[in-house]
Amino acid sequence: MLSPPNGSLMPPSQDPLYAGLGQAVRIATDLLAALIVGGGLGWVCDAYLFDSTPWGMIGGLVLGLVAGMRNAYRSVQRWTNT
């Protein structure tokens, strides 16, 4: 870990609001990333592989949503156990 030039590190916040906010942002980012990847893969399948417009995109978005919800569930399970 890189330290600031003066050698001091900022201690983690003890405020539960910020801890919860950080977790919420992480889960939202995971969901968004999964949807983007799923939709992108579906679009690639539609445009270049199967010519099945719009079913590849729909399937990719559904799979992305399922993957994102699974990741969010796993994140929440880890967070509540700590």
- Compute the distance between CA of residue 78 and CA of residue 68 in angstroms, rounded to an integer: 15
- Compute the distance between CA of residue 12 and CA of residue 1 in angstroms, rounded to an integer: 15
Q: How many residues does the chain have?
A: 82
Evaluate the omega torsion of the peptide bond into residue 54 and state whether it is cis, within 30 degrees of 0: yes
Where along the chain do its domains lie? Answer: 32-81
Task: Please say whether the beta carbons of 61 and 42 come within 8 A.
Answer: yes
Residue range 50-66, pLDDT digits in tens:
888 889 999 999 999 99
Residue range 24-49, pLDDT digits in tens:
888 999 999 999 999 999 999 998 98
pTM, 2 dp: 0.71
